[in-house]
Amino acid sequence: MKIALVSPYDFAFPGGVGRHVTNLEKHFTRMGHEVKIIAPASKRVSDFGNRFIRIGTPFAIPASDSIIRISISLHLAPTIKEVLAREKFDIIHLHEPFMPMLCSAVLRFSNTVNVGTFHAAQGKPGYNWGRPISTWMLGRRARKLNGFIAVSKPAMNYVSQYVPAEYEIIPNGIDIHHFRPDIKPMEQYLDGKLNIVFMGRLEFRKGVNYLLKAFMEIKRQMPNTRLLICGPGTRLRTRYEQWIARNRLEDVIFTGMVSHEEQPRYYRTADIFCAPNTSKESFGLILLEAMATGRPVVATNIEGFAAVVTHGQEGLLVPPMNSRALADGLLTLLNDKARREQMGQKGIITAQKYDWEGIAHRVMDYYQKTIEKVRIQGKVF
- Domain-embedded: residue 91: yes
pLDDT at 67: 81
Q: Which residues pair with 300 in a beta bridge?
A: 318
Nearest 10 degrees: CA dihedral of 343, 344, 347, 352?
A: -150
**pLDDT for 260-304, tens place per residue?**
999 999 999 999 999 999 987 899 999 999 999 999 999 999 999
Q: Which residues pair with 266 in a beta bridge?
A: none
Kindly calculate the radius of gyration of the chain based on its CA atoms and give it in whole angstroms: 21
pLDDT at 126: 52
pLDDT at 341: 98
Residues 193, 162 within the same domain: no
Residues 123, 103 within the same domain: yes
**Domain containing residue 244: CATH number:** 3.40.50.2000
Residues 86, 223 within the same domain: no
Residues 168, 22 within the same domain: yes
Split into its structural domains, the chain has a count of 2
pLDDT at 124: 54
pLDDT at 130: 46
Residues 340, 222 within the same domain: yes
Helices (H), 102-165: 102-109, 133-142, 153-160
Q: Is 81 helix (H, G, I), strand (E, B) or coil?
A: helix
Separation between Cα atoms, residue 233 and residue 227, nearest integer Å:
17
**pLDDT for 69-81, tens place per residue?**
999 999 999 999 9
pLDDT at 279: 86
Residues 366, 247 within the same domain: no
pLDDT at 305: 96
Q: Which residues pair with 4 in a beta bridge?
A: 36, 92
- Domain-embedded: residue 32: yes
242 φ, ψ (degrees, to nearest 5): -65, -40
pLDDT at 132: 40
- Domain-embedded: residue 180: no
Residues 152, 26 within the same domain: yes
CA atoms within 13 A on the CB side of 95: 29
pLDDT at 64: 65
Residues 226, 142 within the same domain: no
Separation between Cα atoms, residue 267 and residue 292, nearest integer Å:
9
- Domain-embedded: residue 338: yes
The count of other CB atoms within 10 Å of the CB of residue 126 is 23
DSSP 190: -
**pLDDT for 92-102, tens place per residue?**
999 999 998 99
Residues 11, 152 within the same domain: yes
CB of 123 closer than 8 Å to CB of 146: no
Q: What is the pTM of this model?
A: 0.89
- Domain-embedded: residue 182: no
pLDDT at 1: 97
**Which residues of the chain fall below pLDDT 50?**
125, 130-133
Residues 205, 329 within the same domain: yes
- Domain-embedded: residue 181: no
- Domain-embedded: residue 280: yes
CB of 306 closer than 8 Å to CB of 350: no
Residues 223, 320 within the same domain: yes
Separation between Cα atoms, residue 280 and residue 125, nearest integer Å:
13
Residues 153, 194 within the same domain: no
- Domain-embedded: residue 68: yes
Q: Could you check whether the bond before residue 257 is cis, i.e. omega within 30 degrees of 0?
A: no
Q: Which domain holds residue 226?
A: 187-352
